[in-house]
Amino acid sequence: MSTVSSPTAETTEDPETGLRAALALRRLAERVEANQVAAARRAGWSWQQIGDALGVTRQSIHAKYGR
């Protein structure tokens, strides 16, 4: 059985492929974060708790997601 390795976005030499992959990951991370912040707020978490969990200040997370 032959194992041919195809390049991944992490190892590609093509900047366009790598940058597209980085953008897709950033967008996915933003959606996951937004969904989890909303879930935490519904569960009664404070902005301080959410900020601590994300490694940011409560002010910055509130500014980003507070309504």
Q: Residue 6 pLDDT more than 90? A: no
pTM: 0.78
Residues 23-48 pLDDT 10s: 999 999 999 999 999 999 999 999 99
- pLDDT category at 59 given cuts 50, 70, 90 is very high
Specify burial of residue 37 (Cβ count, 10 A radius: 0-12, 13-18, 19+). Answer: buried
pLDDT score recorded for residue 13: 86
* pLDDT top residue among 67 and 58: 58
Tokens of 6: 């195809």
